């Protein structure tokens, strides 16, 4: 690539038609790229395929760095409703992201940063700032080359910072969405500039299997590939998701239609345990095909599958293993992705304890009706989680659930909002502070046990303004929290505006609550526990965000263990 513009940096932007800035120290070919694009329908497991490929390449010895490129105009995921987009996953640096970043972190066992997550809103924000600063040298700012150039700059900046061998870029949505067309175009340009041996395009598509026909149909997948080709992108690898195993006739048809060797067309049908997917796809030479496209097979020769087989074996539980039923008293019920990290954290505990974990969802709005029976709702439940959330809907029902756990010795774990509501319940029913509440719900409560953080009182905007990301938690000597964590200081991730009101700490402690975790200045209470109860603990932080398949969060693990014993 001889063009001078390819040698520019972000600090000296070209006025030429070809705008493609590069960060200082960038070398073409040093980092390779895999671009993962979906077609036919969303929600087919593009993030799972991306995470699996991360795991495969990492196991092969490559330094892998994932990136999610979302098309929506939000700057981050913080203001998105979990019903619409799944849970908001918080990174250690405080970035509020898509739940796929959680999948990447769990399978790679590493912390990611905001540079691993790009949205259209973030790209536009950067462009407008540069335009206001006069950095485009009088040019009219356009989608091509400026928006596409900014995306390429973000990708290459991650390459320089991480020094990764391969960056996996998952594009949100599907081919044909208006909002992600410029993202696909940017990465088509990246392939042109970097050279074909440095960029691999992977299309995750879906094979329909209408129940009325009883056979697989490939036409929708063909049209998805056609739409991608019409944008100038020839996929190098095709991954075909399906309910049942893809038939050879479908594979042959797609091979011909997509202009690909059959060895580059892979089936990925539904499996009972997604942790077996890496070893299944390695058996089909999936990562080998990627390495061949990127000319990496000599530097990183193929491995046998023994390590991955052993890993997937550890990440499984026999179907006849003992069962534990955990209740989740949540607000965002009816969609599996809304509490993804909690479900995964429980799953990790199941692997460690070799127990099958079942979740019973509790709609707390039902408990607020006059004829509701808390006892009936708790039938069969061995432990309860009250997760994070916002707003008033179902709050009184959650408080009833917490009270029932406290009074009937049922193991209880509160997370963020669950921590705050546990204090409200305790203040009302143990400390006799009638009408105690959080000022988030009742600004006129006579006993504001939970109040807004002091630094939040002058904050009026919503996006990215909470107390976010990783903070140290100091743990009280001799407490259950110290015993469980085996440490006097841990680091966990937060996402909140409200806290335990310091004025009520003495009253709560006199009633029997032990605050066993706090910040360095002991101003923000971060863990509570109730001595004498089999397990009654809650955290202002989100331990589920740092749980890993082979390293479950200690608090979750102890909660599940005790829930599975007779108490």
Residue 260 to residue 238: CA distance in whole angstroms: 8
Burial of 497: CB neighbours in 10 Å, binned 0-12, 13-18, 19+: middle
User: Alpha-carbon torsion 191, 185, 31, 101, what sign?
Assistant: negative
Active site residues: 416, 542, 544
Whole-angstrom distance, CA of residue 189 vs CA of residue 173:
20
3 state DSSP class of 70: strand
Structure tokens at 63: 């330094």
The phi-psi region of residue 214 (left if phi > 0; otherwise alpha if psi is between -120 and 50; otherwise beta) is left
102 φψ region: left (φ > 0), alpha (ψ -120 to 50), beta (else): alpha
| 521: CB partners within 8 A, 6+ apart | none
For 118, 201, 527, the CA distances from 115, given in Å and listed in that order, are 7, 21, 31
Give Cα separations from 473 to 167, 488, 503, 558 (angstroms): 33, 8, 21, 18
Strand 166-174 and strand 32-38: the pairing is: parallel
Within 13 Å, how many C-alpha atoms sit on residue 240's CB side? 31
Pick the closest to residue 4 from 557, 254, 401, 18 (CA basis). 18
Helix, strand, or coil (residue 342): helix
Distance CA 278, CA 426 (A): 46
Which element (helix H / strand E) includes 529? strand 525-529
Please, is 291 exposed, middle or buried when counting C-beta atoms within 10 Å of its C-beta (0-12, 13-18, 19+)?
Answer: buried
Instruction: Provide the token pair at 52.
Output: 């699996």
Residue 84: exposed, middle, or buried by beta-carbon count in 10 A (0-12, 13-18, 19+)?
exposed
Q: Are 469 and 94 in contact (CB under 8 A)?
A: yes
- Residue 234's nearest CA partner among 272, 191, 291 is 191
């Amino acid at each position: 690539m001889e063009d001078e513009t390819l040698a520019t940096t972000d600090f000296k932007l070209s006025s030429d038609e070809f705008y493609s800035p590069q960060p200082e120290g960038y070398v073409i070919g040093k980092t390779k790229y895999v671009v993962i694009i979906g077609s036919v329908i969303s929600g087919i497991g593009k993030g799972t395929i991306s995470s699996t490929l991360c795991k495969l390449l990492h196991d092969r010895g490559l330094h892998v760095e994932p990136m999610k490129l979302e098309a929506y105009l939000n700057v981050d995921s913080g203001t998105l409703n979990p019903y619409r987009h799944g849970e908001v996953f918080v990174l250690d640096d405080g970035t509020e992201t898509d739940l796929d970043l959680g999948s990447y972190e769990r399978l790679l066992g590493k912390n990611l940063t905001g540079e691993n997550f790009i949205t259209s809103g973030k790209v536009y924000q950067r462009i407008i700032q540069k335009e206001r600063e006069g950095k485009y040298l009088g040019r009219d700012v356009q989608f091509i080359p400026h928006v596409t150039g900014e995306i390429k700059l973000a990708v290459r900046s991650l390459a320089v910072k991480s020094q990764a061998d391969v960056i996996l870029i998952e594009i949100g949505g599907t081919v044909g969405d208006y909002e992600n067309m410029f993202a696909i175009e940017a990465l088509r340009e990246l392939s042109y500039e970097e050279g074909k041996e440095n960029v691999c395009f992977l299309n995750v598509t879906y094979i329909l299997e209408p129940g009325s026909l009883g056979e697989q149909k490939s036409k929708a997948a063909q049209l998805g590939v056609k739409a991608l080709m019409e944008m100038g992108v020839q996929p190098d690898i095709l991954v075909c998701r399906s309910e049942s195993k893809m038939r050879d006739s479908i594979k042959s048809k797609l091979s011909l239609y997509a202009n690909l060797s059959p060895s580059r067309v892979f089936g990925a049908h539904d499996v009972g345990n997604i942790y077996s997917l890496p070893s299944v796809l390695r058996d089909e030479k999936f990562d080998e095909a990627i390495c061949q496209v990127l000319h990496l097979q000599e530097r990183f020769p193929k491995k046998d599958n023994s390590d991955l087989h052993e890993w997937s074996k550890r990440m499984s539980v026999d179907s006849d293993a003992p069962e534990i039923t955990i209740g989740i008293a949540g607000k965002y019920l009816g969609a599996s992705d809304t509490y993804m990290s909690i479900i995964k954290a429980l799953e990790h505990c199941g692997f460690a304890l070799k127990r099958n974990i079942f979740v019973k969802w509790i709609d707390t709005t039902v408990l607020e009706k006059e004829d509701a029976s808390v006892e009936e709702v708790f039938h069969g439940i061995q432990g309860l989680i009250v997760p994070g959330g916002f707003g008033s809907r179902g709050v009184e029902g959650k408080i009833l659930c917490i009270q029932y756990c406290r009074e009937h010795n049922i193991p209880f774990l509160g997370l963020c909002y669950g921590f705050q509501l546990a204090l409200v319940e305790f203040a009302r029913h143990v400390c006799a502070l009638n009408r105690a509440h959080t000022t988030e719900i009742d600004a006129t409560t006579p006993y504001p046990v939970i109040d807004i953080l002091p630094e939040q009182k002058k904050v009026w905007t919503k996006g990215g303004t909470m107390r976010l990301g990783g903070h140290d938690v100091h743990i009280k000597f001799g407490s259950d929290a110290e015993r469980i964590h085996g440490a006097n200081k841990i680091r966990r991730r937060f996402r909140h505006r409200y806290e335990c009101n310091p004025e009520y700490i003495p009253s709560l402690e006199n009633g029997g609550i032990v605050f066993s975790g706090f910040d360095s200045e002991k101003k923000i209470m971060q863990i509570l526990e109730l001595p004498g109860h089999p397990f009654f603990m809650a955290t202002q932080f989100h331990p589920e965000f740092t749980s890993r398949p082979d390293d479950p969060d200690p608090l979750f693990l102890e909660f599940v263990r005790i829930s599975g014993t007779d108490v």
